[in-house]
């Protein structure tokens, strides 16, 4: 594995791929990645600094924490204040600010019971240990994490645990991409002739695609005539994918390709999808920056309704006022690059984040702040 990693970092190979990119980038090309790990890898490797000026890197709705809607964050924070509730969450969500600057981290400091877990299965131990509290897992993220949540729900059912439920905020990647292509987002704060000029191609996520496979994205080329490539995370993976995107555009042969064949099977992981489908069904979801997208999220199937924390605890998602000045939404929609936000690096920094894209280590604002110059 280390040998392969060495090869994929080889300066000579990367140099040749960059040459291919330069040859095909005469015209402006705006590419979007939709995976937080890609965001970071593009910066850390230095690729962002090496691309021709004609290429614009857009960091789309690919960071799980960032796309979680204001109203969903607000619901989680509201739940943290309830007696007899023990929340469990992935770490990054702790610092995401709500509209009034509140966060799970602050709620915990004030006495709420909140645990950071590395796997949703840990919730079952918590629930088993204290039956007097309701253990609620905050389920965010994409097809990469949701199968593990589904497996946890199945296990809870097998164990007969009655005090475990999930805030089901899971989202699906392909419907969001379709929404971006079908009706390109607009914002009153971004002039359409400046940056928001559409997307010419997609770097498709590596991890999500191990579950989904490749066919789920075919519509990108078939219906919208745009190239898309599933990419790995090493420099040569990313450069190879970008070269292919540009060449497909140049040759007028847009396709959806898989460059990450060592990890992603064309059919994905049918077993994981089967577990997912056993517990969840497709439903509407709210996305930060993109709003309500039909059939872009997961909801519990009726036979698993008892695990739906919203219904069980009598909560509903309420419209929340937007965070004043924050342009995370515009960044996630590909309308701007983070430094265009008036708060970036001034009022909003990783020390003191205003919006979620500055909180998550994989958020696009944090990546620009930590690696851009």
Partner 1 sequence: MNDILLLDHGSGGKASHRLINEVFVSRFSNPVLAGLNDAARLEISGPLAMSTDSYTVDPIFFPGGDIGSLAVHGTVNDVAMLGAEPLFISCGFIIEEGFALNQLIRIADSMALAARSAGVSIVTGDTKVVPKGAVDKVFINTTGLGRIIAEPMPHGGGAKAGDAVLISGPVGDHGLAVMSSRAGIMLAADVKSDSAAIHEMVLNLIRAEVEVHVLRDPTRGGLATTLNEIAGQSQVVIEVEQAGIPVRSGVAQAASVLGLDPLYLACEGRVIVIVPEQAAGRALEIMRSSPHGGQACRIGSVLAPDPDSGRPGQVLLQTPIGGKRLLSMLEGEQLPRIC
Binding residues vs partner 1 (CB under 8 A) = 2, 9, 11, 14-15, 43-50, 235, 350-351, 369-373
Q: Quick check: 371 and 226 in contact, CB under 8 A?
A: no
Report how far residue 156's alpha carbon sits from residue 123's, in angstroms, rounded to the nearest whole number: 9
Q: Which of 231/276 has CB closer to partner 1?
A: 231
Q: Which is nearer to partner 1, 329 or 356 (CB)?
A: 356
What does the alpha-carbon distance between residue 260 and residue 205 come to, in Å, rounded to a whole number? Answer: 10
* Contacts for 337-341: CB closer than 8 Å, 24+ residues apart: 337/56, 337/57, 337/58, 337/59, 337/195, 337/368, 338/59, 338/364, 338/365, 338/368, 338/369, 339/368, 339/372, 340/190, 340/195, 341/365
Of the two residues 128 and 372, which places its CB atom closer to partner 1 in the complex?
Answer: 372
Tell the smallest beta-carbon distance from residue 246 to partner 1 (Å): 18
If the CB atoms of residues 40 and 124 are measured against partner 1, the closer one turns out to be: 40
Least spacing, CB of residue 65 vs partner 1, in Å: 15
Q: Would you say 223 or 370 has its CB closer to partner 1?
A: 370
In the complex, the smallest distance separating the C-beta of residue 56 from partner 1, rounded to whole angstroms, is 17
CA distance 258 to 265: 9
Phi/psi at 345 (5° precision) = 75, -5
Q: Which of 125, 111, 113, 62 is nearest to 89 (CA)?
A: 113
Minimum distance, C-beta of residue 91 to partner 1, in the bound complex (Å): 12
Report in angstroms how near the CB of residue 47 gets to partner 1 at its nearest: 6
């Amino acid at each position: 594995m280390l040998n392969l990693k060495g090869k994929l970092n080889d300066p000579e190979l990367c140099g040749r791929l960059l040459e291919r990119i330069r040859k095909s980038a005469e015209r402006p090309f705006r590419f979007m990645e939709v995976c937080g790990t890609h965001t970071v890898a593009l910066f850390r490797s230095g690729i962002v600094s090496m691309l021709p000026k004609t290429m614009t890197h857009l960091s789309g709705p690919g960071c799980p924490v960032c796309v979680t809607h204001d109203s969903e964050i607000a619901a989680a924070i509201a739940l943290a204040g309830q007696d007899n509730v023990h929340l469990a969450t992935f770490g990054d969500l702790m610092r995401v600010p709500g509209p009034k600057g509140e966060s799970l981290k602050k709620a915990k400091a004030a006495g709420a019971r909140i645990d950071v877990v590395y796997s949703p299965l840990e919730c079952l131990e918590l629930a088993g240990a204290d039956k007097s509290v309701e253990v609620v897992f905050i389920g965010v993220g994409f097809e990469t994490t949701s199968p593990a949540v589904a497996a946890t729900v199945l296990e809870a059912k097998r164990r007969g645990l009655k005090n475990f439920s999930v805030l089901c905020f899971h989202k699906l990647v392909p419907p969001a991409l379709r929404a971006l292509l079908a009706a390109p987002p607009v914002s009153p704060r971004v002039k359409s002739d400046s940056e928001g000029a559409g997307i010419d191609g997609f770097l498709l996520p590596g991890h999500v695609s191990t579950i989904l496979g490749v066919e789920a994205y075919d519509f990108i080329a078939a219906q919208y005539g745009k190239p898309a490539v599933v990419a790995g995370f090493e420099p040569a993976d990313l450069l190879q994918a970008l070269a292919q995107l540009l060449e497909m555009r140049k040759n007028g042969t847009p396709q959806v390709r898989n460059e990450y064949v060592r990890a992603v099977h064309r059919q994905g992981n049918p077993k994981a999808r089967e577990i997912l489908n056993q517990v969840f069904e497709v439903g509407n979801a709210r996305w930060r920056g993109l709003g309500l997208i039909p059939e872009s999220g997961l909801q519990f199937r009726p036979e698993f309704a008892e695990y739906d924390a919203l219904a069980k605890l009598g909560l509903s998602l309420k419209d929340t006022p937007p965070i004043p000045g924050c342009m995370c939404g515009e960044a996630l929609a590909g309308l701007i690059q983070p430094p265009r936000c008036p708060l970036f690096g001034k009022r909003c920094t990783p020390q003191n984040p205003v919006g979620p894209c500055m909180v998550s280590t994989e958020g696009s604002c944090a990546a620009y702040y930590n690696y851009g110059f």
